[in-house]
Structure 1
Amino acid sequence: MAEWLTHVLLAYATFRILSWYVEWLDSQWISVGMVGAILPDLSRLNLVISSDIISYFIGSEFDWFGIHTAGGIILLSGIGALLFRDALEQQKAFIMLLSGSISHILVDLPQRYADGKMILDMYAFPLPLPRPVTPGWYVTPDRWVVLVAFVTAIVVFFADQHRKSVK
C-alpha cells in the first residue's frame, strides 16, 4: 500500500508543477495522471486471480506481469482513454494515464534488486534493452520513500496555494 501511495503522491507533485506551465493541466487531469501512476501495479492482481486461472478461461498463455511493461501501460492507457467523452478529452486522458504510468516506472528503476541491476529490460519488453547497474537507493518496503513522497507533495501543494494567492 505504501508503494501505491508513493507513486500517487509523486505523480501529484510532478503534475501539479507541470500545471504551472501547461494551461489545460488542471486538477481533473492531474487526478487522471495520478490514476495512471498505479496502472502498472495492476499486475498485482495476480495476488487475487492467478494467471493460470485466466489462461484456463481464455485458452491461451497469460501473465499479469505484461501490465507492468511498456506495452501493458500503453494498452491500459488507451483503454482508459476510451472512457472519456470526446476525442480531445481522450487524447488528454491518454497522455495523462501514460505519463502517470511512466512516472511509476521511473520511480521503480533505482530500486535495489538482488542481482544489482535495473529491471529495465522487463519494463521495455519486448524491446531488448540492457540491464544497467541500479543505484540501489531503496527497496519497496522502505518507509522513508513514502515519507519523501509525502513531504514533496505537501511542499508542492503549499507552493501551488501560494502561487494562486499571489495571482
Structure 2
Amino acid sequence: MSDLLTHALTAFAVATVASWVVPWLARRHVPLATAGAVVPDLAKGYFVTGDPQVTVAGVTGSWYALQTAGVVTCLLVAGVMLVERAERRVALAALLGGTGLHIGMDYLVIRAGGVAPPYLYPLTWAELPSVDAYLSSSVWPSLVALPVAALVWYVDRRGLAPGADSTAPERTDGDRAN
C-alpha cells in the first residue's frame, strides 16, 4: 500500500506548505486535506469483498466509481455537513484539494494501455494519457515523500516556515501564528 502512503504524505506536505501562504487555510485543516487524499483509495474495498461490484440497499455499483471526481465530490459534500457551519467552505476546499492531488498523482501511474481510467467522470468520460512515471506498487515514491513530509513537519513545528514569527509563543489552538 505504498501508493496510499504516498498520497497521504504528499497531501500532508502540500497542505502544510499551503497553510503557510494561504491566509484562510490553517494548520487544523491539514488533516482534512490528508483525508481527502485517501478517500479515492476507498475503491480498494474490492480487496475486502473480493468483487468489484457492490450492492447497497438493492442498488449495484462498482467500487471503481469511488475513484472518480464526481462520486468523491458527492461523498465529500455529504461528509462536510458534519463540520461546523462556519468551517464548511474551508473544510470542503481542503478535502477537495487532497482529492485533486490524489487524482493528479494517479495520472502518473504506469498503465498497461497508456491511458488512465476516466477519473474526471462526470465531467468527461475521456481516458486521458497516463504519464507512466511509476507503478502504484513502487516503493520509491513513498521513500521520496517520507523525508519531504518529515522536513515540512519539522519546519512547520519549529516555526521556521516563511512568515512564521519564531519569537512568538506557541499557540495552543492548533493554528499557525500570524
Q: Equivalences for 1:5-24 in 2 at 5 Å?
A: 5-24=5-24
**Residue 124 (1) aligns with residue 120 (2):** yes
Which residue is equivalent to 1:154?
Answer: 150
Which residue is equivalent to 1:59?
Answer: 58
- Contact 2:12/2:149 (<8 A) preserved: yes
Number of aligned residue pairs: give it: 162
**Where is the helix percentage greater, Structure 1 or Structure 2?**
1
Q: CA deviation at 1:96?
A: 1.0
Give unmatched runs, 5+ long, in structure 2. 168-178
- The one-character-per-residue Cα deviations of 1:130-154 (angstroms, maximum 9, x if unpaired) are 4343321100111101011112212
Residue 18 of structure 2 aligns to a residue whose secondary structure is helix
- Contact 1:33/1:99 (<8 A) preserved: yes
Greater mean deviation of Cα atoms: 39-48 or 122-131? 122-131
- The one-character-per-residue Cα deviations of 1:80-103 (angstroms, maximum 9, x if unpaired) are 2011122x2122111111111111
Greater mean deviation of Cα atoms: 58-67 or 156-165? 156-165
- Contact 2:3/2:138 (<8 A) preserved: no
Equivalent residue letter for 1:46: Y
The TM-score normalised by the length of structure 1 is 0.86
Q: CA deviation at 1:38?
A: 0.2
- Contact 1:41/1:68 (<8 A) preserved: yes
- Contact 2:109/2:130 (<8 A) preserved: yes
Which residue is equivalent to 2:87?
Answer: 89
Task: List, as ranges, runs of 4+ consecutive aligned residues in structure 1 with deviation greater than 4 Å.
Answer: none
Residue 43 of structure 1 aligns to a residue whose secondary structure is helix
Residue 46 of structure 2 aligns to a residue whose secondary structure is helix
- The one-character-per-residue Cα deviations of 1:45-84 (angstroms, maximum 9, x if unpaired) are 12223454x42x5223311111110111101111220111
- Name the CA distance, whole Å, in 2 between partners of 1:102 and 1:9: 14
- Contact 2:19/2:25 (<8 A) preserved: yes
**CA RMSD, 1 decimal:** 1.9
**Where is the strand percentage greater, Structure 1 or Structure 2?**
2
Which residue is equivalent to 1:34?
Answer: 34
- Name the CA distance, whole Å, in 2 between partners of 1:27 and 1:166: 16
The TM-score normalised by the length of structure 2 is 0.81
- Contact 2:83/2:91 (<8 A) preserved: yes
- Name the CA distance, whole Å, in 1 between partners of 2:134 and 2:89: 34
Which residue is equivalent to 1:99?
Answer: 97
